[in-house]
Structure 1
């Protein structure tokens, strides 16, 4: 989405990168809480410390209860919405309100699904490289196990091979292509931009 000048495009890229990192941390926070990850682990501790100030305003209204950190999702949605508005302002495009909401929701959903995809990939690689229990990498098992468990119930191990990661990855990618992709396609005419 170029604006014409290298300086503006560079600034836009930098802001997009920073926003992406913030959304990444918020999605990680959501997944860590949803999967009951050990909060004593350094990765979990770091994520909490970095994301607490970002989530604080929403947490005041919606305190976290149980395993679902709704504040992290809402904060991610608000930040992504502000970014879409900023992109519109920077590029001189007048996005429709419905498009802004849908674009923000689908971007947050894509980030969450991408994170699940890569966490499963990392866990599979670690299980090959270091099959023995390792407290430093155990966090990946804690995060991915609740994602893989439903697939493992449907497709039990065959000949000692656990195929649940393959089917989980397929399901995640299909959800991105079919469900999220269809919503994005539906939203395109609502952007208020021809073409």
Structure 2
């Protein structure tokens, strides 16, 4: 029975934690991409993250136009997920400094996974609904543009076919492999890594 309650605790904390972490990271990425602030999805993300983010901004200033409060909040959410889920799963209390490093790795893995899946969705809808003005697709295009634009400048489209996503996928996969190696060097348990969204492979 105790094991059942522990599993339920891990499930609830990990699910709620990763959903909120996703919202925080999306806000950070959308700000970097200068995406449409008035898009209804952007507004939803703002409303969800404001209660914790606005107080944090009072003590964590921005840096070179980057919202560092979002970065700190994402790390703290990941840290809480790791510590609470570790306790529920019977690992005891992880070293907070190690857990903070693992949180950083998990946040980067989540960003890579979000961009990877976003690219897949964008490619599919570019074929079946290329002219769609749905708010979610418009926001997704804006989010992905900073990742695709540098590659597109180096590798221009072949006629009407944009092959930059292929190379973005390659770069994301390489980044993910490097991150996995770093996670192993940091002695990051598989259980902890599994709490975050990531490209399968660890």
Task: Please give the alpha-carbon distance, in whole angstroms, between the structure 2 residues aligned to 1:8 and 1:62.
Answer: 35
Structure 1 residue 99: Cα displacement: 2.2
Q: TM-score, normalised by structure 2?
A: 0.83
Task: Please give the alpha-carbon distance, in whole angstroms, between the structure 1 residues aligned to 2:73 and 2:185.
Answer: 24
1:61 alignment partner, SS class: coil
- Indicate the residue corresponding to 2:22 in structure 1: 24
- Indicate the residue corresponding to 1:8 in structure 2: 6
1:107 alignment partner, SS class: helix
Root-mean-square deviation (CA, aligned residues, Å) is 2.2
- Indicate the residue corresponding to 2:150 in structure 1: 150
Relative distance call for 1:31 and 1:183 in structure 2 (3 A) is: same
1:40 alignment partner, SS class: coil
- Indicate the residue corresponding to 2:116 in structure 1: 117
Task: Please give the alpha-carbon distance, in whole angstroms, between the structure 2 residues aligned to 1:31 and 1:16.
Answer: 22
- Indicate the residue corresponding to 1:46 in structure 2: 44
- Indicate the residue corresponding to 1:36 in structure 2: 34
| Cα deviation code 1:93-118 (max 9, x no counterpart) | 35334421221110111111111112
**Does the aligned pair in 1 maintain the 2:61–2:69 contact within 8 Å?**
yes
- Uncovered stretches (5+) of structure 1, i.e. residues with no partner: 191-195
| Aligned length in residues | 187
1:6 alignment partner, SS class: helix
**Does the aligned pair in 2 maintain the 1:88–1:94 contact within 8 Å?**
yes
Structure 1 residue 189: Cα displacement: 7.8
Segments of 4+ in structure 1 off by > 4 A? Answer: 63-67
**Does the aligned pair in 1 maintain the 2:102–2:188 contact within 8 Å?**
no
- Indicate the residue corresponding to 1:100 in structure 2: 99
**Does the aligned pair in 1 maintain the 2:13–2:84 contact within 8 Å?**
no
Structure 1 residue 161: Cα displacement: 1.4
Structure 1 residue 177: Cα displacement: 1.5
Q: TM-score, normalised by structure 1?
A: 0.86
Task: Please give the alpha-carbon distance, in whole angstroms, between the structure 2 residues aligned to 1:32 and 1:23.
Answer: 14
| Cα deviation code 1:4-52 (max 9, x no counterpart) | 7122101211110000001000010011111011111101111111111
Relative distance call for 1:183 and 1:4 in structure 2 (3 A) is: farther
- Uncovered stretches (5+) of structure 2, i.e. residues with no partner: 190-202
Task: Please give the alpha-carbon distance, in whole angstroms, between the structure 2 residues aligned to 1:23 and 1:159.
Answer: 39
Structure 1 residue 159: Cα displacement: 3.6
Task: Please give the alpha-carbon distance, in whole angstroms, between the structure 2 residues aligned to 1:184 and 1:92.
Answer: 18
